[in-house]
A and B are shown apart, each in its own frame.
Chain A
Protein backbone atom coordinates (compact mmCIF):
# COMPACT_ATOMS: atom_id res chain seq x y z
CA UNK A 1 0.00 0.00 0.00
CA UNK A 2 1.19 3.50 -0.80
CA UNK A 3 1.94 5.69 2.24
CA UNK A 4 0.29 9.11 2.47
CA UNK A 5 3.69 10.82 2.35
CA UNK A 6 4.21 9.91 -1.31
CA UNK A 7 1.07 11.75 -2.35
CA UNK A 8 1.94 14.76 -0.19
CA UNK A 9 5.50 15.00 -1.56
CA UNK A 10 4.26 14.65 -5.14
CA UNK A 11 1.69 17.38 -4.66
CA UNK A 12 4.25 19.66 -2.95
CA UNK A 13 6.59 19.19 -5.94
CA UNK A 14 3.77 19.85 -8.42
CA UNK A 15 2.81 22.99 -6.49
CA UNK A 16 6.40 24.26 -6.57
CA UNK A 17 6.67 23.66 -10.32
CA UNK A 18 3.43 25.58 -10.83
CA UNK A 19 4.74 28.39 -8.60
CA UNK A 20 7.89 28.58 -10.72
CA UNK A 21 5.77 28.80 -13.86
CA UNK A 22 3.60 31.58 -12.44
CA UNK A 23 6.61 33.59 -11.30
CA UNK A 24 8.88 33.27 -14.32
CA UNK A 25 6.70 33.01 -17.43
CA UNK A 26 6.26 36.11 -19.57
CA UNK A 27 3.14 35.16 -21.45
CA UNK A 28 -0.15 35.70 -19.58
CA UNK A 29 -1.62 32.43 -20.91
CA UNK A 30 1.43 30.53 -19.63
CA UNK A 31 0.93 32.12 -16.19
CA UNK A 32 -2.61 30.70 -16.18
CA UNK A 33 -1.14 27.28 -17.07
CA UNK A 34 1.02 27.51 -13.92
CA UNK A 35 -2.05 28.36 -11.83
CA UNK A 36 -3.76 25.23 -13.16
CA UNK A 37 -0.78 23.12 -12.01
CA UNK A 38 -1.03 24.63 -8.51
CA UNK A 39 -4.78 23.97 -8.30
CA UNK A 40 -4.21 20.36 -9.34
CA UNK A 41 -1.62 19.94 -6.59
CA UNK A 42 -4.16 21.21 -4.05
CA UNK A 43 -6.74 18.76 -5.36
CA UNK A 44 -4.35 15.80 -5.00
CA UNK A 45 -3.86 16.81 -1.37
CA UNK A 46 -7.59 17.10 -0.69
CA UNK A 47 -8.44 13.73 -2.21
CA UNK A 48 -5.56 11.91 -0.53
CA UNK A 49 -6.53 13.32 2.86
CA UNK A 50 -10.08 12.09 2.21
CA UNK A 51 -8.81 8.59 1.35
CA UNK A 52 -6.36 8.35 4.27
CA UNK A 53 -8.67 9.86 6.85
CA UNK A 54 -12.25 8.89 7.64
CA UNK A 55 -13.75 7.81 4.29
CA UNK A 56 -17.32 8.34 5.48
CA UNK A 57 -16.67 12.08 5.72
CA UNK A 58 -17.01 13.30 2.14
CA UNK A 59 -15.73 16.84 2.75
CA UNK A 60 -12.43 16.24 0.94
CA UNK A 61 -14.04 15.09 -2.31
CA UNK A 62 -16.77 17.76 -2.14
CA UNK A 63 -14.16 20.46 -1.68
CA UNK A 64 -12.20 19.05 -4.63
CA UNK A 65 -15.34 19.36 -6.78
CA UNK A 66 -15.74 22.99 -5.68
CA UNK A 67 -12.09 23.59 -6.61
CA UNK A 68 -12.92 22.18 -10.06
CA UNK A 69 -15.77 24.68 -10.43
CA UNK A 70 -13.62 27.58 -9.24
CA UNK A 71 -10.78 26.55 -11.59
CA UNK A 72 -13.17 26.39 -14.55
CA UNK A 73 -14.56 29.86 -13.82
CA UNK A 74 -11.08 31.27 -13.20
CA UNK A 75 -9.81 29.98 -16.54
CA UNK A 76 -12.87 31.24 -18.41
CA UNK A 77 -12.61 34.76 -16.96
CA UNK A 78 -8.80 34.83 -17.19
CA UNK A 79 -8.67 33.79 -20.82
CA UNK A 80 -11.47 36.22 -21.70
CA UNK A 81 -9.41 38.98 -20.08
CA UNK A 82 -6.30 37.92 -22.02
CA UNK A 83 -8.20 37.90 -25.31
CA UNK A 84 -9.78 41.26 -24.56
CA UNK A 85 -6.40 42.79 -23.64
CA UNK A 86 -4.83 41.31 -26.76
CA UNK A 87 -7.53 42.90 -28.92
CA UNK A 88 -6.96 46.36 -27.45
CA UNK A 89 -3.21 46.45 -26.82
CA UNK A 90 -1.94 43.74 -29.18
CA UNK A 91 0.22 42.03 -26.53
CA UNK A 92 -0.15 39.23 -24.00
CA UNK A 93 3.21 39.74 -22.26
CA UNK A 94 2.51 40.45 -18.59
CA UNK A 95 5.40 42.95 -18.27
CA UNK A 96 3.98 45.17 -20.99
CA UNK A 97 0.52 45.39 -19.43
CA UNK A 98 1.37 48.32 -17.16
CA UNK A 99 -1.73 50.42 -17.87
CA UNK A 100 -2.71 50.45 -14.21
CA UNK A 101 0.81 50.83 -12.87
CA UNK A 102 1.14 53.97 -10.81
Chain B
Protein backbone atom coordinates (compact mmCIF):
# COMPACT_ATOMS: atom_id res chain seq x y z
CA UNK B 1 0.00 0.00 0.00
CA UNK B 2 1.53 3.26 -1.08
CA UNK B 3 1.47 6.55 0.81
CA UNK B 4 -1.04 7.91 -1.73
CA UNK B 5 -3.46 5.08 -0.97
CA UNK B 6 -3.22 5.64 2.78
CA UNK B 7 -3.81 9.35 2.20
CA UNK B 8 -6.85 8.51 0.07
CA UNK B 9 -8.26 6.19 2.74
CA UNK B 10 -7.89 8.83 5.46
CA UNK B 11 -9.60 11.41 3.22
CA UNK B 12 -12.39 8.97 2.39
CA UNK B 13 -13.00 8.18 6.06
CA UNK B 14 -13.14 11.90 6.89
CA UNK B 15 -15.60 12.50 4.02
CA UNK B 16 -17.92 9.64 4.94
CA UNK B 17 -17.78 10.30 8.69
CA UNK B 18 -18.54 13.98 8.34
CA UNK B 19 -21.28 13.24 5.76
CA UNK B 20 -22.91 10.92 8.31
CA UNK B 21 -22.72 13.72 10.88
CA UNK B 22 -24.38 16.08 8.34
CA UNK B 23 -27.41 13.83 7.99
CA UNK B 24 -27.74 12.75 11.63
CA UNK B 25 -26.68 15.61 13.92
CA UNK B 26 -29.50 17.44 15.69
CA UNK B 27 -28.15 20.96 15.65
CA UNK B 28 -28.43 22.35 12.13
CA UNK B 29 -25.57 24.81 12.56
CA UNK B 30 -23.37 21.84 13.41
CA UNK B 31 -24.69 20.02 10.33
CA UNK B 32 -23.67 22.97 8.15
CA UNK B 33 -20.21 23.03 9.77
CA UNK B 34 -19.82 19.27 9.18
CA UNK B 35 -20.80 19.90 5.55
CA UNK B 36 -17.77 22.21 5.31
CA UNK B 37 -15.54 19.31 6.45
CA UNK B 38 -17.09 17.04 3.79
CA UNK B 39 -16.63 19.66 1.05
CA UNK B 40 -13.02 20.20 2.07
CA UNK B 41 -12.42 16.45 1.86
CA UNK B 42 -13.88 16.44 -1.66
CA UNK B 43 -11.50 19.30 -2.56
CA UNK B 44 -8.62 17.11 -1.35
CA UNK B 45 -9.93 14.31 -3.63
CA UNK B 46 -9.86 16.70 -6.60
CA UNK B 47 -6.25 17.52 -5.74
CA UNK B 48 -5.44 13.77 -5.64
CA UNK B 49 -7.07 13.46 -9.09
CA UNK B 50 -4.83 16.27 -10.50
CA UNK B 51 -7.86 18.51 -11.06
CA UNK B 52 -6.24 21.54 -9.41
CA UNK B 53 -8.65 24.12 -10.81
CA UNK B 54 -11.66 22.20 -9.51
CA UNK B 55 -10.04 21.85 -6.07
CA UNK B 56 -9.71 25.64 -5.84
CA UNK B 57 -13.23 26.21 -7.17
CA UNK B 58 -14.56 23.71 -4.63
CA UNK B 59 -13.03 25.69 -1.77
CA UNK B 60 -14.07 29.09 -3.14
CA UNK B 61 -17.59 28.32 -4.37
CA UNK B 62 -18.75 25.49 -2.12
CA UNK B 63 -17.09 26.36 1.18
CA UNK B 64 -16.87 30.09 0.62
CA UNK B 65 -20.35 30.68 -0.76
CA UNK B 66 -22.73 27.75 -0.48
CA UNK B 67 -21.85 26.62 3.05
CA UNK B 68 -21.99 30.21 4.34
CA UNK B 69 -25.38 30.62 2.62
CA UNK B 70 -26.57 27.53 4.50
CA UNK B 71 -25.40 28.93 7.82
CA UNK B 72 -27.25 32.18 7.10
CA UNK B 73 -30.42 30.30 6.17
CA UNK B 74 -30.27 28.21 9.36
CA UNK B 75 -29.85 31.36 11.44
CA UNK B 76 -32.74 33.12 9.68
CA UNK B 77 -35.14 30.20 10.24
CA UNK B 78 -34.01 29.18 13.70
CA UNK B 79 -36.85 30.37 15.92
CA UNK B 80 -39.28 27.60 15.10
CA UNK B 81 -36.98 24.57 15.17
CA UNK B 82 -34.98 25.30 18.33
CA UNK B 83 -33.22 21.94 17.82
CA UNK B 84 -35.75 20.17 20.02
CA UNK B 85 -37.65 17.00 19.24
CA UNK B 86 -36.67 14.34 16.74
CA UNK B 87 -34.90 15.70 13.65
CA UNK B 88 -35.57 12.57 11.60
CA UNK B 89 -38.85 11.31 10.17
CA UNK B 90 -40.52 8.40 11.96
CA UNK B 91 -39.77 5.95 9.13
CA UNK B 92 -36.05 6.75 9.06
CA UNK B 93 -34.96 3.09 9.28
CA UNK B 94 -36.89 2.39 6.06
CA UNK B 95 -34.99 5.26 4.41
CA UNK B 96 -31.73 3.80 5.73
CA UNK B 97 -32.63 0.49 4.06
CA UNK B 98 -33.38 2.32 0.79
CA UNK B 99 -30.02 4.11 0.98
CA UNK B 100 -28.19 0.83 1.70
CA UNK B 101 -29.98 -0.85 -1.20
CA UNK B 102 -28.94 2.03 -3.48
CA UNK B 103 -25.33 1.60 -2.40
CA UNK B 104 -25.54 -2.17 -2.85
CA UNK B 105 -27.09 -1.81 -6.29
CA UNK B 106 -24.47 0.69 -7.42
CA UNK B 107 -21.67 -1.52 -6.08
CA UNK B 108 -23.11 -4.63 -7.74
CA UNK B 109 -23.50 -2.80 -11.05
CA UNK B 110 -19.98 -1.36 -10.90
CA UNK B 111 -18.13 -4.51 -9.94
CA UNK B 112 -19.49 -6.27 -13.01
CA UNK B 113 -17.96 -3.58 -15.24
CA UNK B 114 -14.57 -4.53 -16.66
CA UNK B 115 -12.97 -1.07 -16.24
CA UNK B 116 -13.66 -1.13 -12.51
CA UNK B 117 -10.15 -1.61 -11.14
CA UNK B 118 -8.29 0.29 -13.83
CA UNK B 119 -5.44 2.57 -12.75
CA UNK B 120 -4.70 6.03 -14.10
CA UNK B 121 -2.13 6.57 -16.82
CA UNK B 122 0.44 9.30 -16.18
CA UNK B 123 -0.09 12.63 -17.88
CA UNK B 124 1.73 13.01 -21.21
CA UNK B 125 4.91 15.04 -20.65
CA UNK B 126 4.31 18.79 -20.74
CA UNK B 127 0.53 18.33 -20.45
CA UNK B 128 -1.16 21.38 -18.93
CA UNK B 129 -4.53 20.26 -17.55
CA UNK B 130 -5.65 23.71 -16.35
CA UNK B 131 -4.73 25.33 -19.67
CA UNK B 132 -6.58 22.62 -21.57
CA UNK B 133 -9.63 23.17 -19.37
CA UNK B 134 -9.55 26.92 -20.01
CA UNK B 135 -9.25 26.38 -23.76
CA UNK B 136 -12.09 23.85 -23.72
CA UNK B 137 -14.34 26.34 -21.91
CA UNK B 138 -13.91 29.15 -24.45
CA UNK B 139 -13.37 27.23 -27.67
CA UNK B 140 -16.33 27.30 -30.09
CA UNK B 141 -15.52 23.70 -31.07
CA UNK B 142 -15.83 22.55 -27.47
CA UNK B 143 -17.94 23.87 -24.60
CA UNK B 144 -18.46 27.60 -25.03
CA UNK B 145 -22.23 27.25 -25.44
CA UNK B 146 -22.86 25.15 -22.28
CA UNK B 147 -20.59 27.55 -20.38
CA UNK B 148 -22.60 30.58 -21.49
CA UNK B 149 -25.89 28.83 -20.78
CA UNK B 150 -24.65 28.07 -17.25
CA UNK B 151 -23.88 31.76 -16.72
CA UNK B 152 -27.37 32.73 -17.91
CA UNK B 153 -28.80 30.13 -15.51
CA UNK B 154 -26.80 31.66 -12.63
CA UNK B 155 -28.11 35.12 -13.49
CA UNK B 156 -31.70 33.89 -13.67
CA UNK B 157 -31.34 32.05 -10.34
CA UNK B 158 -29.86 35.20 -8.77
CA UNK B 159 -32.76 37.38 -9.93
CA UNK B 160 -35.28 34.71 -8.91
CA UNK B 161 -33.87 34.25 -5.41
CA UNK B 162 -33.74 38.01 -4.78
CA UNK B 163 -37.37 38.25 -5.90
CA UNK B 164 -38.41 35.34 -3.66
CA UNK B 165 -36.60 36.46 -0.53
CA UNK B 166 -37.46 40.16 -0.90
CA UNK B 167 -39.53 41.47 1.98
CA UNK B 168 -42.39 43.47 0.48
CA UNK B 169 -43.66 44.89 3.77
What are 11 A-B interface contacts by the 8 Å CB criterion? A4-B118, A12-B102, A12-B103, A24-B92, A34-B23, A44-B42, A69-B154, A72-B61, A77-B160, A77-B164, A80-B161
Chain A residue at minimal CB-CB distance from B49: A51
Q: How far is the CA of A10 from the CA of B2 in the complex (A)?
A: 18
B73 CB-CB contact with A under 8 Å: yes
Chain A residue at minimal CB-CB distance from B7: A2
Q: Within residues 3 to 32 of chain A, which ones have a CB less than 8 A from any CB in chain B?
A: 3-10, 12-21, 23-27, 29-30, 32
| Chain A residues near B2 (CB-CB < 8 A) | 1
Whether the Cβ atoms of A80 and B164 lie closer than 8 Å is yes
| Chain A residues near B70 (CB-CB < 8 A) | 29, 32-33, 36, 75, 79
Using A30-B28, A81-B164 as known contacts, say yes or no to A16 and B153 having CB atoms under 8 A apart.
no
Whether the Cβ atoms of A51 and B42 lie closer than 8 Å is no
Interface size class of A (residues with CB under 8 A): 35 or more
Whether the Cβ atoms of B38 and A40 lie closer than 8 Å is yes
A83 CB-CB contact with B under 8 Å: yes
Partner pick for A14 among B16, B127, B158, CB 8 A cutoff? B16
Query: What 0/1 pattern do residues 113 to 153 of B give for CB contact below 8 A with A?
Result: 00111111101100101001100110000110011001101
| Chain A residues near B76 (CB-CB < 8 A) | 83, 86
Q: Within residues 8 to 60 of chain B, which ones have a CB less than 8 A from any CB in chain A?
A: 8, 12, 15-16, 19-20, 22-23, 28, 31-32, 35, 38-39, 42, 45-46, 48-51, 53-54, 57-58
Whether the Cβ atoms of A73 and B164 lie closer than 8 Å is no
Number of A-B contacts (CB under 8 A): 255
Whether the Cβ atoms of B77 and A83 lie closer than 8 Å is yes
Which label, helix, strand, loop or mixed, suits the secondary structure of the B interface? helix
13 additional contacts, CB 8 Å, given A1-B120, A27-B87, A51-B50?
A5-B117, A10-B12, A12-B102, A16-B99, A19-B102, A26-B89, A32-B70, A43-B54, A47-B54, A62-B136, A72-B65, A86-B76, A91-B80
Query: What 0/1 pattern do residues 51 to 89 of B give for CB contact below 8 A with A?
Result: 101100110011001100110111011011100001111
| Chain A residues near B87 (CB-CB < 8 A) | 25-27, 30
Q: How far is the CA of A32 from the CA of B32 in the complex (A)?
A: 10
Q: How far is the CA of A54 from the CA of B23 in the complex (A)?
A: 36
Q: How far is the CA of A61 from the CA of B54 in the complex (A)?
A: 8
Q: How far is the CA of A62 from the CA of B149 in the complex (A)?
A: 13
Whether the Cβ atoms of B116 and A47 lie closer than 8 Å is no
